[in-house]
Amino acid sequence: MTSQKLYLLDYGAGNVRSLLNAVEKIGYSIEYIQTAEDFDKADKIIFPGVGAFGYAMQALRAKGFVEPLKAYVASGRPLMGICVGMQVLFDGSDESPSEPGLGIFEGQVKLFDNSTKTVPHMGWNATQIVHSTEALAAPALSDQSRYYFVHSYGVPYTGQGSQTEFVHSATRYGDEVVVSSVWKGSVFATQFHPEKSGAAGLAALKSFIESDLVRPASASPAAPPSSIPEAFTVRVIACLDVRANDVGDLVVTKGDQYDVRESADKGGDVRNLGKPVDLARRYFDEGADEIAFLNITSFRNMPFKDTPMLEVLRQASRCIFVPLTIGGGVRDIVDPDGEHMWPAVQVAGEYFRSGADKVSIGSDAVYAAERYLKRIADGETPLDGTTAIEQIAERYGRQAVVISVDPRRVYVSGPEDAPAHHVVKTAFPGPNGEQFCWYQCTVKGGREGRDIDVHQLVTSCEALGAGEVLLNCMDKDGTNSGYDLELIGDVKKAVKIPVIASSGAGKPEHFSEVVKATAADAVLAAGIFHRREVPIADVKAHLKAEGIQTRNA
């Protein structure tokens, strides 16, 4: 089917660039559906989606695509849905009760129970094919592979009733089992993101594009939910701090307690550890589960559209097929001409369209939390929809919003010395023997402390709509002495969203230590990966030896 016309159905979901790049990577071209008439031209359609169920259905209706899409499916031509693009094929979702789905499959999308696990379900997990007779059939999913999931809602898997006719695979997340792919007739859809699932995901996309997609009769009964194994993994994330050096070149650097310059006897230049895209590609090849670009240069002297990080994302997403996060500068921006203003949600949108999957918000998250707490103290409604966190989460889903926290220890003699803050007892006394501390949040790259603690920040941002916490520690940064287990453990207990442990890793044992001690959802490192002091493969091998599941690249 080399002459087939392959189309992409984009309702404004966010990062579709990665899907375009994935299709091109496996040797095909794809066109956008622009009008309702384009459905008649398509031989196959890929329908990706992220964010809210309701927004997706509203956007489809606004574009006049609902009936043409139903007619396309009824014609028997192949359709592949991805993530929300799978969910809207069902009757409806508890996320948006007033918005009916397309009703192609029977069932309701339900919210995960966050009383027993972290939500969103964010990371790499397995898909168990539920009919053994389909194990070797197209589309090419493998029980042995891991795929990238990021969602707060899913279709509960029962293995009974009409599900026996269309469920292709199921996935366990903690105490719940959800449908991870459906396949009936010429319709195939996945809850996971194949374009972000490395080689395994590219194989699934290739299979859809190249196969006739005829589901065989299922001679075997559907597997019961109890038989679906737990296979969720801890993510290993490579982080790249990106800034312009003194001659204007964009480089990856790394600070020691946030100081990115060499010592005076070495010239005092910005540390140069490589070019951003080259280094990120190396990490993808070495098995990193995610890659984070943290922009630590403001680029205030140029229009936002010319910001170099946009081009970094475009280039990186052409060759990297795992999730990409971009941080730094996700706020309201005014161009140097003073005329063009970019609201933070539009800034995020440009990053997503350039290849990012998540945006990381730093200083503005602190300001948003301060405002949230003040509104509570003043007796006002704390959620008013004005913060970047709220607006981006509403538009693209909370899974797209990461808050990056830069705290430092403030030692006190006891809780009574800091009554306005969350004080913890520490096993590492302060300079005057203090047995207690609180973690002060900072802004402006750690240069300014604020009167808000980490506990207040993360709980406020979770309420505002953040979907993940990137938890740094100024005291540990660049020390190679291990993560701050007290800080990370305290934050994990305070929130239900995923927490990424950052700052301080120096050897493989530090990674297993933090996972076992705090149940961190992901582990991040920078300098030791840049300098090849600890290869990513060694970290994963050690985690596996310690009984911690990780993804094979």
Length of the chain (residues): 553
CA dihedral of 248, 331, 526, 233, whole degrees rounded to 10 = -150
What does the alpha-carbon distance between residue 454 and residue 328 come to, in Å, rounded to a whole number?
A: 19
What does the alpha-carbon distance between residue 505 and residue 484 come to, in Å, rounded to a whole number?
A: 10
Burial 36-54 (b: 16+ CB within 10 A, else e): eebbeebebbbbbbbbbbb
Beta bridge partners of 287: none
Catalytic residue among 134, 289, 290, 406: 406
Q: Is 241 a catalytic residue?
A: yes
Residue 242, φ and ψ in degrees, nearest 5: -115, 130
Q: Is 193 a catalytic residue?
A: yes
Token pair in block for residue 374: 């003040």
What does the alpha-carbon distance between residue 551 and residue 489 come to, in Å, rounded to a whole number?
A: 24
Does 472 count as an annotated binding residue? yes
Measured from the Cβ of residue 6, the count of other Cβ atoms closer than 10 Å reads: 19
Q: Is 210 a catalytic residue?
A: no
Residue 298, φ and ψ in degrees, nearest 5: -75, -35
Does 437 count as an annotated binding residue? no
Q: Is 40 a catalytic residue?
A: no
Catalytic residue among 83, 239, 441, 461: 83
Measured from the Cβ of residue 261, the count of other Cβ atoms closer than 10 Å reads: 16
142: left (phi over 0), alpha (psi -120 to 50) or beta: beta
Residue 495, φ and ψ in degrees, nearest 5: -130, 165
Token pair in block for residue 147: 């795929």
Q: Is 319 a catalytic residue?
A: no
- Residue 294 parent element (H or E): strand 290-295
Token pair in block for residue 113: 């129970």
Catalytic residue among 193, 421, 455, 542: 193
Answer whether the bond into residue 120 is a cis peptide, omega within 30°.
Answer: yes
All residues at 6 or more sequence positions from 32 whose CB lies less than 8 Å from its CB, including other chains: 7, 8, 10, 38
Catalytic residue among 134, 241, 357, 490: 241
By C-alpha distance, which of 471, 507, 512 is closest to 490? Answer: 471
Query: Strand (E) positions, 362-435?
Result: 401-405, 407-412, 424-425
Q: How many CA atoms lie within 13 A of 477 on its CB side?
A: 21
Q: Which residue is listed with tokens 């992220």?
A: 50
Would you call 547 helix, strand, or coil by DSSP? coil
What does the alpha-carbon distance between residue 541 and residue 553 come to, in Å, rounded to a whole number?
A: 12
- Residue 473 parent element (H or E): none
Would you call 448 helix, strand, or coil by DSSP? strand
All residues at 6 or more sequence positions from 543 whose CB lies less than 8 Å from its CB, including other chains: 234, 236, 508, 511, 512, 515, 549, 550
Catalytic residue among 10, 38, 176, 195: 195
60: left (phi over 0), alpha (psi -120 to 50) or beta: alpha
Token pair in block for residue 158: 């029962």
Q: What is the DSSP letter of 411?
A: E
Q: List residues with catalytic annotation.
A: 83, 193, 195, 241, 406
Annotated binding site for substrate: 329, 472
Annotated binding site for L-glutamine: 83
Annotated binding site: 83, 329, 472
